[in-house]
Chains A and B, each alone.
Chain A
Amino acid sequence: MTPLLPSLLGGLSGWALLGVKILGAFGFMAAANLVILYAS
C-alpha cells in the first residue's frame, strides 16, 4: 500500500513531516471519536 500523504507532503523536512503526520493522526482520532460518540 502506497503511503499517500507522505508523498503529497514530500517537500517538508523530516521532523516537520513527522509532526504533520502525528497531528493528522490525532486530528483524525478526535474527529472519529466524536462521530462514534454522537452517532451511538
Chain B
Amino acid sequence: MKSTGLFQERQRPFHYARDPVFLAALAIYLVNRLFIKPHLHPYSPFFHGHLDDSLLVPVALPIFLLVYRLLGLRPDNAPPRWWEIALHLLVWSLFFKWFGPLVLHRSVADPVDVACYAGGGIVAWALWHFPVAKR
C-alpha cells in the first residue's frame, strides 16, 4: 500500500507482530507467567504485578495497531506514534482501573498500575523511535 500522511517510506517501517520490541516484551511476559510467578511463593509486587503492567503497551499495542491497519483505519506502517500510545493508555487506564473494578468486579483501582502502564509505554516509544541497533 502506498504511504500516506506524515510517515515516509524511507523511514524504518513498523512490523507489528514481528517487531523486535513486541517479541522481546512478549517473551518476558511468557517467561514471567509460566516460569517465575508459579514458583515465587512469597508475593512479589514486581513479578506479580508491576512487570506485567509495564509490558502492557509493548505487548498489546502492536496487535491493536495491526488490527486497525487491516481494517484500513491506520494509513501507514509508521512506528507507534506518541498520541496512539497516549490514547490507548487512557482507554486501558479507564477500562482496567475504573470500569473493571467498579462494573466487572475484576482488577483493583491502583494508580501505581497506571504509572507502570505509562512507564512501559514511554520506554517502548523510545525503543520504537530510537532503536539501539540497526535492524
Main secondary structure of the interface of B (DSSP, over half): helix
Q: Is there an interface contact between B72 and A29, defined as CB atoms closer than 8 Å?
A: no
Q: Is there an interface contact between A37 and B106, defined as CB atoms closer than 8 Å?
A: yes
Q: Is there an interface contact between B71 and A5, defined as CB atoms closer than 8 Å?
A: yes
Contact digits for A18-40, partner B, Cβ 8 Å, 1 yes 0 no: 00011011001100110011101
Q: Tell me the complex Cα distance, A38–B69, Å.
A: 26
**Interface positions of A (Cβ within 8 A of B):** 1-6, 21-22, 24-25, 28-29, 32-33, 36-38, 40
* 22 sampled A-B residue pairs with Cβ under 8 A: A1-B77, A3-B69, A3-B70, A3-B71, A3-B72, A4-B70, A5-B72, A21-B72, A24-B71, A25-B67, A25-B68, A25-B73, A28-B64, A29-B64, A32-B60, A32-B64, A33-B95, A33-B96, A36-B60, A37-B100, A37-B104, A37-B106
